[in-house]
Amino acid sequence: MSTILKIEGLSHRYSSAWAIRDINLEINQAGVVGLLGSNGAGKSTTMNILCGVLNQTEGQVTVNGINMRENPEEAKKNIGFLPQNPPVYTDLTVDEYLAYCAQLRRMEKGKIKQAVEEAKERCGIAHFSTRLIGNLSGGYRQRVGIAQAIIHKPKLVVMDEPTNGLDPNQLIEARKLIREIGQDHTVLLSSHILSEVHLLCREIVMIEGGRVIFSDSMDAFNNYVQPHSVLARMENPPSATELMKIPGATKVEFLSDRQIRIYFDGDQDITERIISASVQQGWRLREINLDKGLLDDIFKQLSIQSLQ
């Protein structure tokens, strides 16, 4: 299995302050990997270095086996980049812009037309070929931005807040497109929206204070904080007051007429107690599951631990 991206001992200093320190990361397969971190955590510095925009103070970045610092031109041929604000030229048509981007990537002249057609088709913008980019909606401009990032079929696609500013319908379509791209490419996606990372990513890398404080699968990230509540569905639910009488229950939330979240004090026997009470009281319990720790809670806990 070839290594798509390898970051070793990556550190960078602005003046006397270290922006990132000893970042290590290795990605070996296609899929979407989430890059998380609060503002100032070091995400942008890391992304700028691995895309060849910035030379690091220490460490090295290898893309598809090519060292970025030693051979930047060859390494960049394997990278597609979508910044937070799509780098589109509003006075060009979609075809003109994508052809221009292909030339920037030094693609062979004879292959550019086909590459433009394939990128448009994949991103769902083929019907806008002759439309000025300035006349496209925000969602379609974002699709054009994604098209320029994949036009040369790179091994690694880096996306910085790719759904920023999209409306709900555009958001759904953009996420679907990112998932599809992740089937054939390695996608490194930076986002502050934890629910989005949860929906799109198979792995998580979290940077805080310039250091990696978490790097593992999405499941491991979800399970980092032990469940502190259960979700129950009942056909004949009692009042919150009655549910609070269950030993260990600390709080009750009715999410709907039949769906209830019950918080508890860490006693894992809470599910058995709810089941027993339901049978005795006729609550007609239909479903009960431990509620995994919310992503926001996990994010906060990891951030706090990194500062201790």
Segment 236-253 shows an average pLDDT of: 92
Please give the structure tokens belonging to residue 40.
């100032």
Residue 147: burial class (beta carbons within 10 Å; 0-12, 13-18, 19+): buried
- Rounded CA-CA distance 142/88 in Å is 9
Q: Evaluate if residue 295 carries a pLDDT over 60.
A: no
- Rounded CA-CA distance 49/282 in Å is 62
- pLDDT at position 38: 78
Q: Which of 90, 93, 77, 10 is nearest to 45 (CA)?
A: 10
- pLDDT at position 82: 93
Please give the structure tokens belonging to residue 236.
């004949």
Alpha-carbon distance values, 44 to 47, 165, 208, 250 (Å): 5, 19, 12, 41
Q: Evaluate if residue 280 carries a pLDDT over 70.
A: yes
- pLDDT at position 169: 79
- pLDDT at position 267: 58
Confidence of residue 165 (pLDDT cuts 50, 70, 90): confident
Q: Are strands 17-27 and 259-264 parallel, antiparallel or unpaired?
A: unpaired
Q: Evaluate if residue 284 carries a pLDDT over 70.
A: yes
Q: What is the pLDDT of residues 2-17, one digit of tens each?
A: 789 999 999 999 988 9
The pTM assigned to this predicted structure is 0.76
- pLDDT at position 74: 93
Architecture of domain 229-291: 2-Layer Sandwich (3.30)
CA 114, 80, 107: angle at the middle one, nearest 5? 40
Q: What is the pLDDT of residues 41-91, one digit of tens each?
A: 888 899 999 999 899 999 999 999 999 999 999 999 999 999 888 889 999
Q: Which fold, 5-222? A: Rossmann fold (3.40.50)
**Domains of the chain, residue spans:** 5-222, 229-291
Q: Evaluate if residue 301 carries a pLDDT over 80.
A: no
- pLDDT at position 244: 93
Confidence of residue 264 (pLDDT cuts 50, 70, 90): confident
- pLDDT at position 224: 66
Please give the structure tokens belonging to residue 234.
């009942």
Average model confidence (pLDDT) for the chain? Answer: 88
25 touches 205 (CB < 8 A): yes
